[in-house]
Amino acid sequence: MTTIAHPHTAAAALSDHPFLSSIPIGSLRRLAAHVQSHTYPAGEQVFREGQIANRFFLIRNGLVRLDLEVAGRGQVEVETLGCDSALGWSWLFSPYRWHLTATAVERTSMLIFDTDALQIAMAADPPLGYELIRRFSGVMFDRLVATRLQLTGDAEIPTAGTSGPWAGRRTTAANWRHDIERGPVT
């Protein structure tokens, strides 16, 4: 993994990713201190189901396949994520183990966060922490829907670009702090 040399360069890379779009640059600079860049060759595992979950990923380019071990069926493909997707939320909940296996389908570049440092940054900036948890919740919801669809055979395997709030689409919120102050939309 490569540490991004300058905090301003790292903050700019973070602001370019849809998962973090519209987050104020000051908050992104704090996050930038805890991000690294890495490129996975095709076929390399990013993480394996059951391993300790201690990282969070933002896919910059490439494809990552998510698989789940299903009794009697073996590895079942759940979803394929592409450019601008967010990956990895298992670090948020005990027992802090990956629930899926992620493998690079093609050469894939990612921004990678150490989640211990990320949790400290989120706790130090509660509005940022809230907004990130809100965004992670969207990723979790998407992943659970994709898993359900695949396991029940209700649909084809979702691919990036057709699923996910951060699968290639930018948020439309001009100022997420305003959304926090205004409260949830009912």
Closest CA to 63 of 150, 168, 170, 160: 160
Q: Model confidence at 8, in pLDDT bands (50, 70, 90)?
A: low
Pairwise CA distance, residues 98 & 123, whole Å? 23
| Tens-digit pLDDT profile for residues 128-169 | 999 999 999 988 888 778 777 766 776 554 444 433 444 433
Q: Give the chain's domain count.
A: 1
* Residue-level pLDDT at 42: 97
Report yes or no on 183 lying in a domain: no
For residue 97, what are its two tokens? 């183990």
* Residue-level pLDDT at 172: 33
Report yes or no on 69 lying in a domain: yes
Does residue 186 or residue 151 have the better pLDDT? 151
Alpha helices (H) in the chain, listed in sequence order = 7-15, 25-32, 115-124, 126-152, 176-182
Report yes or no on 180 lying in a domain: no
Cα atoms found within 13 Å of the Cα of residue 97, Cβ hemisphere only: 5
Closest CA to 78 of 101, 54, 45, 44: 101
CATH code for position 25 = 2.60.120.10
Q: Model confidence at 6, in pLDDT bands (50, 70, 90)?
A: low
Report yes or no on 64 lying in a domain: yes
Angle between helices 25-32 and 126-152 (to 10 degrees): 70
Evaluate if residue 183 carries a pLDDT over 60: no
Evaluate if residue 173 carries a pLDDT over 80: no
Torsional sign, CA 46, 60, 108, 30: negative
Report yes or no on 159 lying in a domain: yes
| Tens-digit pLDDT profile for residues 69-123 | 889 988 888 889 999 999 998 999 999 999 999 999 999 999 999 999 999 999 9
Report yes or no on 179 lying in a domain: no
For residue 28, what are its two tokens? 């992104």
Q: What are phi and psi of 132, to 5 degrees?
A: -65, -40
User: What is the rounded radius of gyration, in angstroms, for the C-alpha atoms of the chain?
Assistant: 16
Is the CB of residue 65 less than 8 Å from the CB of residue 150?
no
* Residue-level pLDDT at 33: 86
| Tens-digit pLDDT profile for residues 36-52 | 999 999 999 999 999 99
Report yes or no on 182 lying in a domain: no
Evaluate if residue 2 carries a pLDDT over 80: no
Q: For residue 125, what are the domain limits?
A: 2-171
Report yes or no on 186 lying in a domain: no
* Residue-level pLDDT at 29: 87
Is the CB of residue 86 less than 8 Å from the CB of residue 72?
no
* Residue-level pLDDT at 79: 84
Q: Model confidence at 171, in pLDDT bands (50, 70, 90)?
A: very low
